[in-house]
Amino acid sequence: MNRTRPEMLHCLNATGNLAAATSREMSVLERQRAVLKWHQEQLKRRQQRHFDDLNVFSAPLLAQNINGLIDDDGSGLNEILTRPTGMETGRPDFGSKSGVILDLDHSAGHVNASSGYCLNFAISGNINFPPTVVAAATQVNTAVGAEAKVREPTTSERLSVTTGRQSSKKRKAEKSLPSEVDEEEDSIVKKIRGCADEEEPTNSDQHQNSNKNNWNNNSSKNKESNGDKSNREASSCTSKGNSKASAVQKPDYVHVRARRGQATDSHSLAERIRREKISERMKYLQELVPGCNKITGKSGMLDEIINYVQSLQRQVEYLSMKLAALNPSVDVNINDLFAKEVSPACLASYLPTMGVSPEMASQSYLEYNPVETMGQVCVSEGVNLVDASLRRSMSPPVSIPETLLHSSCFNQIHNSLPWELDLQSLFSMEFQQERPINCSLADLCWPY
């Protein structure tokens, strides 16, 4: 009954939890009681450590159920965010994280889900997010309240972490993208669009999804029978995935809820998820390929991508031809380059002009250590050569006359970008810390 809701809300609000329940839900919950008891115990163990002030556990059945749900949710959140060892082990972070969840937003008993409390990470995540990104996402999502059951229509997206014990309506297995993708790539290519971006602007509700599929299925079925007025939300896990979540959770399936007013059969839901995934990746590609900001159509984007890939491949061909032409033979190429290295003394004089930070230097040095141990004299020398030529272009304070050198250096500069300068400086610092190498390049190039 709706009557019960204000009471519950009041109770839960007082305790920092938000819940909404109906009689129907109660019956559903009662059916789930046996299953929830385990969660309750688990929750109690943790709650006692962290939420001494919460009296939720002494609350009536509904509250207990809701606590169970919260626990599940919190544990799910924890799993996603902290990569816990297991569901049943105590997680020290649980308190802080769920505290964030529980204490937030309970204005008028209405779950605030503007930013969406969405565990919106694909479980079997395609791309592994660095922890920083995840942390950022959690911050984004902190403005979320917890709600046991959704009554108001919402379109917030959720990816609920399942216990893996029950089958879900949807099962998606996804490949994982390379985990070696660097931080830079991650920050650019894989934004956490899940919660913030994918949230519908009209989202208002926060649905705290139980990790129990049975409950979901039952309630969803019940709601489905009520038609679209029921609180169904479509969650499409379009975000690129959290390695921690995927590492923890065995199942790679996704809890999906249909959007309000949309078809709820599994096929269309799957279709919608697939489409959203594709569109998200197309957005990434749009950022990657230059000049694609204005193109909106899929075929136009594909066309640009084709052109870009073809041009890159042609560039590789051209550059390899250029290198082959510049040097009489492949090995001689390297050896000659190496034979003429910038002497460390000459470099040292230029280093002060670089303004390279010591951290970068040590970092590059450490990275190149394996190169050294491999006996890759050539590699380091090659690097040094690159460095030498590049640094010449980079150090205007140096008194290099405006000769033809300068013209070619300018080409370098034009090609260079701010971070490239970092790369070059890394090389230079690295070289400085390596063995001294004689080089006549300095003699050739520098007008001493």
Partner 1 sequence: MRPPISLEKEFLKKWVMGLQKWSSTSKEMSFLERKKAIKLSADVAMASARNGSTLWSRALIAGASKDPDTNAIVKHVVTGSTAFASLPPPIRLGRRRVCSNKALRKARINHFRRPSRKSAASSIVKRLVKKRTQVIKGLVPGGERIDDESCLIKETLDYVISLRAQVHVMQQIANAAELLNTNNN
Q: Identify residues 32-61 at the interface with partner 1 (CB under 8 A).
A: none
Question: Measured from the CB atom, is 61 or 278 closer to partner 1?
Answer: 278
Question: Measured from the CB atom, is 58 or 179 closer to partner 1?
Answer: 179
The closest alpha carbon to 51, from 16, 77, 26, 19, belongs to 16
Residue 197 burial (10 A CB sphere; 0-12, 13-18, 19+): middle
The closest alpha carbon to 243, from 143, 158, 174, 165, belongs to 174
Is residue 306 a contact residue for partner 1 (CB under 8 A)? yes
Question: Measured from the CB atom, is 45 or 298 closer to partner 1?
Answer: 298
CA distances from 130 to 80, 181, 210 (A): 12, 10, 26
Sign of torsion, CA 247 249 250 251?
negative
Q: Identify residues 117-136 at the interface with partner 1 (CB under 8 A).
A: 126
SS3 59: coil
We find the least distance from the C-beta atom of residue 98 to partner 1, in angstroms, to be 33
Are the CB atoms for 205 and 153 separated by under 8 Å?
yes
- Piece of the chain touching partner 1 by CB under 8 A; list 78-86, 93-101, 134-142, 376-384: 376-384
We find the least distance from the C-beta atom of residue 91 to partner 1, in angstroms, to be 30
Question: Measured from the CB atom, is 56 or 421 closer to partner 1?
Answer: 421
Q: Identify residues 239-278 at the interface with partner 1 (CB under 8 A).
A: 274, 277-278
As a whole number of angstroms, the distance between CA 97 and CA 140 comes to 13
- Piece of the chain touching partner 1 by CB under 8 A; list 52-60, 73-81, 218-226, 308-316: 308-316
Question: Measured from the CB atom, is 309 or 348 closer to partner 1?
Answer: 309
Question: Measured from the CB atom, is 61 or 306 closer to partner 1?
Answer: 306
We find the least distance from the C-beta atom of residue 185 to partner 1, in angstroms, to be 6
- Piece of the chain touching partner 1 by CB under 8 A; list 50-58, 157-165, 252-260, 282-290: 282-290
We find the least distance from the C-beta atom of residue 150 to partner 1, in angstroms, to be 28
DSSP conformation class of 106: -
What type of residue sits at position 273?
I
**CA 441 from centre of chain:** 45
Q: Identify residues 2-31 at the interface with partner 1 (CB under 8 A).
A: none
Question: Measured from the CB atom, is 171 or 221 closer to partner 1?
Answer: 171
Query: Could you give the string, one character per residue 313-332, with x where binding to partner 1 holds by CB under 8 A and - elsewhere?
Result: x-xxx-xxxxxxxxx-xxxx
Question: Measured from the CB atom, is 62 or 426 closer to partner 1?
Answer: 426
As a whole number of angstroms, the distance between CA 278 and CA 271 comes to 11
As a whole number of angstroms, the distance between CA 123 and CA 173 comes to 9
As a whole number of angstroms, the distance between CA 209 and CA 125 comes to 19
Site for partner 1 (CB under 8 A): which residue of 285, 295, 346, 400? 285
As a whole number of angstroms, the distance between CA 335 and CA 376 comes to 12
The closest alpha carbon to 276, from 147, 167, 159, 153, belongs to 159
- Work out the number of other CB atoms within 10 angstroms of the CB of residue 286: 18
Site for partner 1 (CB under 8 A): which residue of 99, 284, 346, 400? 284
Question: Measured from the CB atom, is 225 or 299 closer to partner 1?
Answer: 299
Question: Measured from the CB atom, is 23 or 329 closer to partner 1?
Answer: 329
Q: Identify residues 332-371 at the interface with partner 1 (CB under 8 A).
A: 332-337, 340, 367-368, 371
What type of residue sits at position 292?
C
We find the least distance from the C-beta atom of residue 353 to partner 1, in angstroms, to be 19
How many residues form the binding site for partner 1 (CB under 8 A)? 87
Question: Measured from the CB atom, is 14 or 306 closer to partner 1?
Answer: 306
Question: Measured from the CB atom, is 85 or 315 closer to partner 1?
Answer: 315
Q: Identify residues 162-191 at the interface with partner 1 (CB under 8 A).
A: 175-185, 188-189
Torsion, CA 241, CA 244, CA 249, CA 254, rounded to 10: -20
Are the CB atoms for 338 and 385 separated by under 8 Å?
yes
- Piece of the chain touching partner 1 by CB under 8 A; list 206-214, 228-236, 257-265, 382-390: 382-390
Site for partner 1 (CB under 8 A): which residue of 45, 49, 221, 298? 298
Radius of gyration of the chain (CA): 29
Q: Identify residues 76-105 at the interface with partner 1 (CB under 8 A).
A: none
* 428: CB partners within 8 A, 6+ apart: 347, 350, 351, 354, 356, 387, 391
Tally of CA atoms within 13 A in the half-sphere of 209 that contains its CB: 32
Are the CB atoms for 259 and 233 separated by under 8 Å?
yes
As a whole number of angstroms, the distance between CA 347 and CA 388 comes to 8
Q: Identify residues 385-444 at the interface with partner 1 (CB under 8 A).
A: 385-386, 388-390, 392, 404-405, 408, 411-412, 415, 417, 419-420, 422-423, 426, 441, 444
